[in-house]
Amino acid sequence: MTTLESVAHLGDELRDQLHQLYVHLHRNPELSMQENRTAELIEERMRALGCETFRCGGTGVVAVLRNGDGPIVGFRADTDALPVQEDTGLDYASTARGTLPDGTDVPVMHACGHDTHVTCAIGAATRLAATPEAWAGTVVFLFQPGEETAAGAKAMVEDGLWDRAPRPEVVYGQHVWAGRSGGVELSTGPAMAMADSWRVTVHGRGGHGSRPEDTIDPVVLAAHMVVRIQSVTSREVPAQAATVVTVATFHAGLKENIIPATAEFTLNVRSLDPAVRERVLAALRRVIAAEAAASAAPEPEIEELYSFPLLVNDPEETASVRAALAAALGEDKVMDRPAQMGSEDFGHLPDAIGVPGVYWFFGGMPDAVVDGGDPVPTNHSPHFAPVLEPTLSTGVRAALAAILSRLGGAR
């Protein structure tokens, strides 16, 4: 039995334990930067494995597993859930509620699979702790909060992460997605897009719906902005440069015969090139200001909500990880993945200390769903429900393959 096979052998008992852990996490999701119970559970599990742990970035947990002299690698798993009402029909579906920063009470669901990530990371740590003869070095497990709001990785770095934890030579991460369970996909170079989110408040002059001439209607004004900004991508960005501009919320007014004084919308911008990003953001500001001026309205307020960095997979390290994944799972289970317009804050962790990072995806959908002919529920859907197996075993095995490729264990 190869070293990887001996380390990655879960056995029925551990597999059952991981299933129970996943079900518990899925039933008990917590919103971004509020992952208190999740952090406590992670600390308990990782300390039981002999890890040194400390809190970082609020509800983040760092767990250091040492096994003599050798390389140091980082492995990240995000922990937060989303304000989504679950509609999977699972017998362990979440009924949890949470409170957003603005005080709004919302349903909470692990609609992006972060419960899977935590389970797989703990599973990988469990097997490493049980087989010290098979590897040497240090693994820094990073249980990161607040990925969904782009707050967590930055918070950990600003809280002195790399001054308090051993500095790795490389940082790995993985994400479950709506692909076929048992397979993995990874990109070389740019892997996930930069993202910028704004809240735009448009000011007008309110009044009676029967006398629009006495008002500056912010609904009409904001509607013109929403339509006009869509032309930025189609008319100001080269066709070869991928960008996405989305307006996802629009709020104004309280009654049908009152023209409100303000309207508000939020927008999200995705891009893969820093220069294109700057060009698009500048164009959006110009269009918003110009539309307001055209209506003799005050200057709109633009609040920058959050920003995700570009996630870049180091080519040399990605080639090494790809080979390890192919050896662990089979060449037919490892597929190339084009750059995605989705975003991740994982890049902050390796970028902060100038080391390479590698990030891959593993499938979570059963064959019957993928081949069923209906649209497959994707991440952030209220119907997103990864099948337990082979999803969890694949995630554990992929994590171990990458880690052991650096710590001298995989062959």
Please list the active-site residues: 306, 389
- The DSSP H or E segment spanning 115 is helix 114-130
Say how far apart CA 142 and CA 74 lie, in whole Å: 7
Q: Where are the alpha helices (DSSP H) in 147-217?
A: 152-158, 161-164
Q: Give the torsion sign (CA, 386, 392, 394, 400).
A: positive
Say how far apart CA 194 and CA 287 lie, in whole Å: 21
Say how far apart CA 161 and CA 140 lie, in whole Å: 11
**In this structure, what are the phi and psi dihedrals at residue 4, rounded to the nearest 5 degrees?**
-60, -45
- Crossing angle of helices 391-407 and 11-27, rounded to 10°: 110
What DSSP state is assigned to residue 337?
-
Q: What are the tokens at 325?
A: 């994944």
Query: For residue 63, is it left (φ>0), alpha (ψ between -120 and 50) or beta?
Result: beta
